[in-house]
Amino acid sequence: MGLLDGLLWRGRSEARYDSGSASSNAIELTKRHSQVSLTKQDAATGHLRVNLAWRMRTSDIGGSQRESLLRHPFRALKPPEVLGHSQSMVNVDLDLGCLYELMDGTKGVVQPLGGLFGDVNAAPYVKLSGDDRFGSGSGETIYVNLDHREAIKRVLVFVYIYDQTPAFDRTHAIVTLYPSNGPRIEISLDERHPQARSCAVVMIENVKGEMIVRREVKFVYGFQAELDRLYGWGLQWGRGYKTKAER
């Protein structure tokens, strides 16, 4: 059973984008074009859906598997998720979570660890749906209720590796935001950081009433407590496990 920092807390130049072709209907946030305004694209209402999906990098299939594919090329037609569940990746567990801060000063975390799934209709107006242990097609999803955007100061979405096996260099993960209006917003975690265990992916922030989505993609070698220090959240962290139900 893996061990992670669990929460023990008390108290409380935007750029213009080419959305691409009509078929893709997506904005990709990059280092060069790192943020977009939901307010300006009339998407700062309703539920903002934030999805994590991941699979093994196909270039990391073991030598014997590559030889097998050469002998049996039709095996390459298997879905990437099936290939991703090979022996080298069976224990990898990427989790989606977020740190939140409300306008009244309330702070906390939403994550599978500790069963802290949040609430979409009451404070913190953020909820995690499900815990996908194997990178399935549906992945994990966080919902942010932007109908209560006036109560939300900032939400930092992060991804971490539960079982303490660094594997960001062997997986391809993508976090996709689906606003209530306009194109989806994609952030790829395609940088090679072999020893990283967590990654701050995207900040959703209320800046003087305007809801801004900003790419972060900052890999760290620790867990949530290190992300907290990096962004100045100021929570108190302890050790925690997932229960069997959460796993």
Residues 148-191 have pLDDT tens digits of 999 999 999 999 987 656 678 778 889 999 999 999 999 999 88
73 cis-preceded (ω within 30 degrees of 0): no
**Residue 100 and residue 107 in contact, taking contact as beta carbons nearer than 8 Å:** yes
pLDDT computed for residue 134 by the predictor: 44
What single-letter amino acid sits at 107? K
pLDDT computed for residue 172 by the predictor: 81
pLDDT computed for residue 12 by the predictor: 35
Classify strands 26-28 and 184-189 as parallel, antiparallel or unpaired. parallel
Does pLDDT of 89 surpass 60?
no
d(CA 226, CA 231): 9
Residues 187-211 have pLDDT tens digits of 999 887 888 889 999 999 999 999 9
Residues 10-47 have pLDDT tens digits of 333 333 333 333 335 899 999 999 999 999 999 999 99
Higher pLDDT, 88 or 230: 230
Does pLDDT of 93 surpass 70?
yes
pLDDT band at 59 (very low <50, low <70, confident <90, very high): low
Average pLDDT of the chain to the nearest whole number: 77
CB atoms within 10 A of CB 37: 15
Q: Of 21-25, 80-84, 90-94, 205-209, which has the strongest mean pLDDT?
A: 205-209
Architecture of domain 4-58+92-240: Sandwich (2.60)
**Residue 60 and residue 168 in contact, taking contact as beta carbons nearer than 8 Å:** no
pLDDT computed for residue 174 by the predictor: 93
Nearest one of 8, 54, 10 to 187, comparing CA atoms: 54
Mapped onto helix, strand or coil, the DSSP state of residue 161 is strand
DSSP letters for 46-94: SEEEEEEEEEE-GGGS-HHHHHHHHH-GGGGGS-HHHHHTSGGGTT--E
pLDDT computed for residue 150 by the predictor: 98
Whole-angstrom CA distances from 96 to 12, 55, 87, 116, 200 are 22, 14, 23, 12, 10
Mapped onto helix, strand or coil, the DSSP state of residue 246 is coil
pTM: 0.77
Q: What average pLDDT does this structure show over 216-225? A: 92
